[in-house]
Structures are given as structure tokens and as C-alpha cells.
């Protein structure tokens, strides 16, 4: 990062109600959407500073309201609270006239996040904290939550966007992505079995990939969920499937060697055990659809990555030209592997999860 960027960020921090000093910054290049910095004082990490991508999140005020509302419910001795630092004008975000929307949150020390589950303990902990998150939000009034990205996980919308991208894509791209396009069309047919009509809407996280779960470094205990921009209404199988695609798969989202992509049954079972450890909170209908969630979520992410590849990378930040296609192919490969495990997953969730009556 260039030196004067530090100055700009320090200037920006003056708008928040924190000690006036010269802080240091470390860029965190993880997400595909926002810009994130760790704020340090004398090498000691204190805050997370983020610029919210206004292109993706049109209603930042509503988004920050969702997070503040959720934080009120997410209070429990078994769930670590994150705090939003207020601006001098007592707002939870600051709008800079040139650089857009910024927010500042507490950094929780001695924590880490994993891209993949390395063992069953991590998978169990992930399930436990996703369950805890949902239990704490189970009675949250849905009307208080705006849709930060309307129809975020709506397959019909994603299918239309995909079809449009095919119409406008360059011929070479259509050829390179030919196999992925065929798989997408076939899988869209198969996913017609998904019927949401009997499911309750819940306040969901909507981006529960494993590296959005914070773990304590010492005990490897899952503390809380981070990256809360997509907290909004949804179905539980969204959060289940998004977690499973990273917990039960030990390969990266953009893994090019598909031999490394596997569906790890012990990790799947451990995650389900973790979910159940909070006691029952899902309806029978929700439990029945969970195996399909583990197919649906990697697929919809793969479809969005493919669409963005065909659209010339206008949505996701990419670190190399074909990253979106690599993500798509890897996500589709896992989708296929999860499809083959539907029968097995059905047995595990039926045996492992008790419906709430
Ligand atoms: C995006 O930037 P990041 O990693 O938090 C995307 C998620 C995907 C994720 C990885 C708003 O999130 O849906 O799971 O990439 N977020 C948005 O594929 O599109
Ligand atoms: Mg995210």
C-alpha cells in the first residue's frame, strides 16, 4: 500500500469516536467485494476498517441497520459480540464524499479463520456456531430487516442473469466455458425439485462460508460469524449449504485440480452434530431440504461466477483473468459431488437432527 494511503485512512478515522492518534494499517485481501483493513496501534490490532462496496450494496443505511438489529439479538455467553464504533455524529458508518461508505468494528484478538475444515472439531464448531446464530435470531422480527441485495439467492433471477450473459458474451468465452454452460443448464433442471413454499423465512447470514466464522486461536472454538453485509431474510438451507460447500470440501473455491475436490463425509457429519448440539430449532420441512441446500449453494455461486466470467468480471474482484471461470468449475465440481451424496446426506440429517415441535 502506498504511504499516503495511510494518511488518507488516518484522516478518515478522525470521523469516528476513537482516540486521536496515528494508526497503522494492513490491507486484508480476502473478500471479493469490500475493501478491508486491519487498524493497529503500535503493532497491536484494534479495529477492522471496511469500505462497503456501494455498487453491490445499494442501501448501505439499511444494511447497517440490519447489522445493528442483529447485534442486539446476538448476545449470549456462548457467542462473542462484535461492536460497531460510532462516528462523531453517532452513526454506525461514515460517508466520505469521494471514497464512499466506511465502517469501523472491534477486532477480536487471538482469532483466526479457516478456508477449509482441517478436522472434525472445526466442522463441529462451525455447525455449533451457525446453529447458535440462528437460535439467537429465531424470534427476530423479519420486518426490521431490509433486503441488502434483493433476490440474492433467487435461482430464477440468477438463471435469467446467466441467460443474458450468454447472449452478450464473446464467442471465445462461450467456447472456453462450454462445459460449464452445459452443466449449468442440466443442473438448473435438476434443481426444480426445490420447493420453498413450506419453509419459514428466517433472518439468515447468507454468506456462511467457513472463513466467515471466527475461531479462537488457543482452543479452536468458534466464536461468532463475521462479514454481516448479507444478513437479511432467507431460508435456513442457504446458510447450511454455504457452510457445507466449504466445511465438507477440503479444496479452495478456485481450485483448478479437481482431484483435490472431495465431499468429506466425516466433516459433514461433524457439522450436523454441531448444529444439533444447540437443541432442536428447525422444522421437519427445513431438515428435509438440507441435502439439497448443499447442492444448491455451491451451484448458485458457481452460476454467478460463470455469469461474471461471461460478463468480463464486472462484479467480483478477480486476481487473474480467468479466476471467475476457475471458481465456477471448482464450485460445479463440488455441486456434482454433493449431488451424488443426496441419499447419504438425507440419512445423516434425518438421524442427526430432531425437528422442533
Ligand atoms: C462474495 O466478498 P466475499 O467473499 O465476502 C459473495 C458471496 C460469496 C463469496 C465467495 C455480496 O463474498 O456471496 O460466497 O464472494 N458476496 C456477495 O464466493 O456477492
Ligand atoms: Mg461476504
pLDDT bracket for residue 5 (50, 70, 90): confident
pLDDT bracket for residue 1 (50, 70, 90): very low
The answer on 320 and 199 residing in a single domain is yes
The answer on 100 and 43 residing in a single domain is yes
Q: How far, in Å, is the centroid of ligand 1 from the Cα of 7?
A: 29
> In this prediction, what percent of the chain has a pLDDT beyond 90?
97
The answer on 83 and 194 residing in a single domain is no
How is residue 132 written as a grid cell?
Answer: 447458535
| 30, 115, 158, 209: residue to mutate for ligand 1 pocket, most atoms within 8 A of CB | 209
What does the pLDDT average to over 220-224? 98
The answer on 302 and 208 residing in a single domain is yes
The answer on 330 and 222 residing in a single domain is yes
Q: Per the structure, how many domains does the chain have?
A: 2
Q: Is 207 in the pocket of ligand 1 (CB under 6 A)?
A: yes
Final residue of a domain: which of 57, 80, 107?
107
Check pLDDT > 70 for residue 60. Answer: yes
Check pLDDT > 60 for residue 2. Answer: no
pLDDT attached to residue 6: 86
Whether 72 is covered by a domain: the verdict is yes
Selection from 257, 254, 263, 321 nearest residue 291 by Cα: 263
How is residue 43 written as a grid cell?
Answer: 503493532
Q: How far apart are CA 272 and CA 350, in angstroms?
A: 10
> In this prediction, what percent of the chain has a pLDDT beyond 70?
99
Whether 115 is covered by a domain: the verdict is no
At a CB cut-off of 8 Å and minimum separation 6, what does 152 contact? 206, 230, 232, 234
Q: Is 56 in the pocket of ligand 1 (CB under 6 A)?
A: yes
Task: Give the position, in ligand 1's atom list, of the atom nearest the Cα of 30.
Answer: 4
Between the CA atoms of 338, 339, 342 and 344, what dihedral angle is there, to the nearest 10 degrees?
-50
Run of H or E residues at 95: strand 94-96
Q: How far apart are CA 243 and CA 148, in angstroms?
A: 20
Whether 113 is covered by a domain: the verdict is no
Residue position matching grid coordinates 464512499: 100
The answer on 39 and 132 residing in a single domain is no
The answer on 339 and 195 residing in a single domain is yes
The answer on 126 and 45 residing in a single domain is no
How is residue 195 written as a grid cell?
Answer: 420447493
Whether 171 is covered by a domain: the verdict is yes
Q: What is the CATH number of the domain that holds 86?
A: 3.30.200.20
| 51, 57, 207, 243: residue to mutate for ligand 1 pocket, most atoms within 8 A of CB | 207
Q: Is 227 in the pocket of ligand 1 (CB under 6 A)?
A: yes
Q: Are 203 and 87 in contact (CB under 8 A)?
A: no
In angstroms, the Cα distances linking 20 to 10, 16, 23, 58 are 9, 9, 9, 31
Q: Are 261 and 174 in contact (CB under 8 A)?
A: no
Q: Are 74 and 133 in contact (CB under 8 A)?
A: yes
3 state DSSP class of 105: strand
What does the pLDDT average to over 238-257? 97
Whether 112 is covered by a domain: the verdict is no
146: left (phi over 0), alpha (psi -120 to 50) or beta: beta
Q: How far apart are CA 247 and CA 127, in angstroms?
A: 9
pLDDT attached to residue 30: 81
CA angle centred on 210, ends 23 and 314, rounded to 5°: 75
Mean pLDDT, the chain, whole residue set = 96
The answer on 302 and 177 residing in a single domain is yes
Q: How far, in Å, is the centroid of ligand 1 from the Cα of 260?
A: 22
Q: Are 244 and 338 in contact (CB under 8 A)?
A: yes
Whether 114 is covered by a domain: the verdict is no
Note down the domain range covering 268. Answer: 120-352
Amino acid at each position: 500500500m502506498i504511504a499516503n494511503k495511510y494518511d488518507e485512512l488516518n484522516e478518515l478515522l478522525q470521523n469516528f469516536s476513537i482516540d486521536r492518534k496515528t494508526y497503522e494499517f494492513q490491507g486484508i485481501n480476502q473478500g471479493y467485494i469490500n475493501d478491508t483493513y486491519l487498524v493497529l496501534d503500535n503493532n497491536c490490532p484494534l479495529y477492522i476498517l471496511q469500505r462497503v462496496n456501494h455498487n453491490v450494496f445499494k442501501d448501505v443505511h439499511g444494511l447497517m441497520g440490519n447489522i445493528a438489529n442483529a447485534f442486539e439479538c446476538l448476545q449470549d455467553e456462548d457467542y462473542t459480540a462484535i461492536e460497531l464504533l460510532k462516528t462523531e455524529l453517532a452513526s454506525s458508518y461514515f460517508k466520505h464524499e469521494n471514497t464512499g461508505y466506511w465502517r469501523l468494528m472491534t477486532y477480536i484478538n487471538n482469532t483466526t479463520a479457516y478456508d477449509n475444515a482441517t478436522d472434525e472439531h472445526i466442522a463441529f464448531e462451525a455447525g455449533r456456531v451457525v446453529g447458535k446464530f440462528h437460535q439467537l435470531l429465531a424470534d427476530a422480527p423479519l420486518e426490521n430487516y431490509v433486503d441488502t441485495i434483493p433476490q440474492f439467492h433467487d435461482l430464477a433471477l440468477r438463471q435469467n442473469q446467466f441467460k443474458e450473459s450468454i447472449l452478450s458474451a464473446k464467442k471465445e468465452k462461450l467456447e472456453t466455458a462450454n462445459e460449464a454452460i452445459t452443466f449449468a443448464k442440466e443442473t438448473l433442471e435438476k434443481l426444480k425439485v426445490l420447493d420453498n413454499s413450506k419453509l419459514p423465512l428466517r433472518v439468515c447470514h447468507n454468506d456462511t462460508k467457513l472463513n466467515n466464522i471466527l475461531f479462537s486461536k488457543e482452543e479452536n472454538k468458534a466464536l461468532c460469524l463475521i462479514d454481516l453485509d448479507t444478513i437479511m431474510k432467507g431460508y435456513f438451507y442457504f446458510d447450511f449449504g454455504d457452510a457445507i460447500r466449504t466445511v465438507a470440501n477440503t479444496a479452495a473455491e478456485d481450485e483448478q485440480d479437481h482431484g483435490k475436490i472431495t465431499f468429506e463425509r466425516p466433516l459433514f457429519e461433524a457439522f450436523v452434530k454441531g448444529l444439533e448440539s444447540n437443541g432442536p430449532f428447525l422444522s421437519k420441512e427445513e431438515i428435509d431440504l438440507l441435502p439439497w441446500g448443499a447442492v444448491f449453494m455451491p451451484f448458485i455461486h458457481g452460476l454467478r461466477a460463470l455469469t461474471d466470467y461471461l460478463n468480463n468480471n464486472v462484479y467480483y474482484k478477480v486476481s487473474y483473468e480467468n479466476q471467475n471461470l476457475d471458481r465456477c468449475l471448482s464450485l460445479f465440481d463440488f455441486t456434482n459431488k454433493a449431488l451424488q451424496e443426496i441419499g447419504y446426506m438425507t440419512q445423516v440429517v434425518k438421524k442427526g437432527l430432531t425437528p422442533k415441535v
